[in-house]
Structure 1
Amino acid sequence: MERTSDAQRYLIGVGSNRRGRHGAPRAEVAAALALLGGTAAPICASAPLGPSSRTFANSAALIASDEAPEALLARLKAIERAFGRRRGRRWGARVIDLDVILWSGGRWRSPRLTIPHPAYRARAFVLAPAAALAPRWRDPASGRTLRQLHARLTKPRAVPRPARTA
Structure 2
Amino acid sequence: MPTSYALALGSNRRGRHGAPAAELRAAITALGRLGQVRAVAPVFDTAPLGPSSRRFANSAVLLETTLDPPALLAALKAIERGFGRRRGRRWGARVIDLDIILWSGGRVCLPHLLIPHPAFRARGFVLDPLAQIAPLWRDPQSGRSIRQLAARARMVDRRAKRP
Per the normalisation by structure 2, the TM-score is 0.91
> Which residue in the other structure is 2:126 paired with?
126
Aligned partner of 2:98: which letter? L
Structure 1, residues 28-81: CA drift from partner, whole Å, max 9, x if none?
Answer: 011111221312100111000111111000000100011110000000000000
What is the aligned residue count? 156
Q: Which runs of 5+ in 2 are unaligned?
A: none
Across the aligned residues of Structure 1 and Structure 2, the Cα RMSD in angstroms comes to 1.6
1:98/1:160 CA distance change after superposition, 3 Å: closer
User: How do 1:13-162 and structure 2 match up within 5 A?
Assistant: 13-37=8-32, 38=37, 39-155=39-155, 156-157=158-159
Distance between the aligned counterparts of 1:45 and 1:137, measured in 2? 23
Aligned partner of 2:22: which letter? A
Which is higher, the Rg of structure 1 or of structure 2? Answer: 1
> Which residue in the other structure is 1:9 paired with?
4
Aligned-residue offset at 1:157: 4.1
Q: Which runs of 5+ in 1 are unaligned?
A: 1-5, 162-166
Would you say the 8 A contact 1:36–1:61 is kept in 2? no
Aligned partner of 1:58: which letter? N
**Partner of 2:16: helix, strand, or coil?**
coil
Distance between the aligned counterparts of 1:48 and 1:159, measured in 2? 16
1:159/1:114 CA distance change after superposition, 3 Å: closer
The structure with the greater share of residues assigned to helix is: 2
Distance between the aligned counterparts of 1:82 and 1:157, measured in 2? 40
1:18/1:136 CA distance change after superposition, 3 Å: same
Structure 1, residues 135-164: CA drift from partner, whole Å, max 9, x if none?
Answer: 100000110000010011113549989xxx
Distance between the aligned counterparts of 2:117 and 2:143, measured in 1? 15
**Partner of 2:27: helix, strand, or coil?**
helix
Distance between the aligned counterparts of 1:86 and 1:157, measured in 2? 35
Would you say the 8 A contact 1:20–1:84 is kept in 2? yes
